A and B are shown apart, each in its own frame.
Chain A
Amino acid sequence: MVYFLRSSSQLSRPEAEEKNNPKMHSFGYRANALLTFAITILAFMCGIASLSDNFNSPSPSAQVQVLNINWFQKQPNGNDEVSMTMNISADLQSLFTWNTKQVFVFLAAEYETSKNSLNQISLWDGIIPSKEHAKFWIHTSNKYRFIDQGSNLRGREFNLTLHWHVMPKTGKMFVDKIVMPGYRLQDDYR
């Protein structure tokens, strides 16, 4: 930082002065000017690359089916826990641009209880490294435990939300989601 600030003030010197000052042509000054120029251009290109992401208007789609409730029980400490099997299919190809390093995608169960105004529990997540892998279909049980804070899951209605975080090669990260409402847990433990 120090080096950068210093050298930029030297670059802005009027050229006429150069002739009177042999120091301007020394190796140190040349290296300094070159480095400053290179860093400035690099920073500028990073900024442009990040800005160019704003022109992408993606149209992703997703579908989730809950195939089976594997088990549904109350833990000894009083919290409800459920295990389920799901089919997740999504097409996230339009999220990828030339500045996209990866897309982190996860499916979260979101619901409200009398105790908590919002509960978000990630059930499955994955990293999509490239556009070729962005249209996928997966059959899975929940990767992280679906545990409530309390015993409120019987008959509970919940949303399944597919969130994604677009990680750029450089610059700003983008976030969005698709909310899929209308899922409901059964009334009894099993």
Chain B
Amino acid sequence: MGWIGETVDSIKSLQIRQVLTQTVSLGMIVTSALIIWKALMCITGSESPVVVVLSGSMEPGFKRGDILFLHMSTDPIRAGEIVVFNVDGREIPIVHRVIKVHERQDTGEVDVLTKGDNNYGDDRLLYAQGQLWLQRHHIMGRAVGFLPYVGWVTIIMTEKPIIKYILIGALGLLVVTSKE
């Protein structure tokens, strides 16, 4: 009980101005992170400018836990590019390489076939049933840059949510209790 009393006293002894400062600085941190993310979205034109590789289907190029930077320009899609695409009925986007492209003469629409470098066959088995080609609207972006290992942080956090809560709690506590 003595411990709780001390804590209550120490909270009471905090000046209101100091509490306000802490709250504002916490808000600044959150908003600056948000600003950076949204700015990246504007610059790259992709709704998720950074993705984490989750499977080994592009090994040895990309391993699980690597980070890819995406770019979505109006440039046409060409064979060999590494694209991130969504398949109808699948929640998680896939990062694979384009191996075939057919671009229409009249409309400019493209039919694209992809394959993982480490997979034996092409991706038609992964597409929706009966789907032979990807179209432009399936593609979220193409990979332009690469950073190894950093994505493990998010993989660990999604698979072990408890670690995420501990981390958020510890950071929050640090911000609130630090006297600047």
Contact = CB atoms under 8 A, between A and B. Distances in A.
Interface residues of B, number: 37
B133 to A, nearest CB: 9
Contact of A102 (B61, B99, B101, B105): B61
A116 B99 contact: no
Contacts of A113: 105
A113 B106 CA distance: 12
B117 A122 contact: no
Given A3-B171, A170-B147, A171-B146, A108 B104 contact: no
A170 B79 contact: no
Contacts of A135: none
Contacts of A1: 33, 36
Contacts, number: 96
B29 A116 contact: no
- Overall SS of chain B's interface: mixed
A149 B61 contact: no
B60 A116 contact: no
Interface residues of A, number: 39
A147 to B, nearest CB: 9
Interface string A14-35: 0000000001000010000000
Given A118-B103, A120-B100, 15 more contacts: A2-B29, A2-B30, A101-B60, A116-B102, A117-B105, A117-B108, A118-B101, A120-B102, A122-B100, A125-B117, A127-B60, A127-B117, A149-B102, A149-B111, A173-B82
Interface of B: 25, 29-30, 32-33, 36, 60-61, 76, 78-82, 97, 99-105, 108, 111, 117, 122, 143-148, 171, 174-175, 178-179
Interface of A: 1-3, 5-6, 23, 28, 46, 50, 101-102, 104, 106, 108, 113-122, 125, 127, 129, 144, 149, 163, 165, 167-173, 175
